[in-house]
Amino acid sequence: MPLSESMSFAALNLVAVTPVEIRRQIALCVAFEPLGVSMGDAPHLAILYSRRNWLEEYDLAAAVEREFRGAKGVLTRIHSECLLGDAFGSSMCDCGSQMRVAMEEMAENREGVFIYLRQEGRGIGMRAKLECLALQYGYVDGKRVERRHTSDEANLALGHDVDERSFNIAGKLIKALSIGSVQLVTGNPRKIADLEAEGVKIASTKDLHQGTMSARAAEEFAEKIARGYIYDR
**Residues annotated as catalytic (active site), given as ranges:** 163, 165
CA–CA dist 225, 101 (Å, integer): 20
Neighbours of 175 (CB within 10 A): 20
Strands 44-49 and 12-22: unpaired
The side-by-side arrangement of strands in the sheet containing 182-185 is 12-22, 25-34, 44-49, 112-117, 74-80, 182-185, 202-206
Q: Which residues contact 172 (CB under 8 A, 6 or more apart)?
A: 7, 10, 11, 12, 198
CA–CA dist 45, 124 (Å, integer): 19
Strands 44-49 and 112-117: antiparallel
Kind and range of the H or E element at 11? none
Q: Which residues contact 75 (CB under 8 A, 6 or more apart)?
A: 102, 105, 106, 109, 111, 112, 113, 182, 183, 185, 206
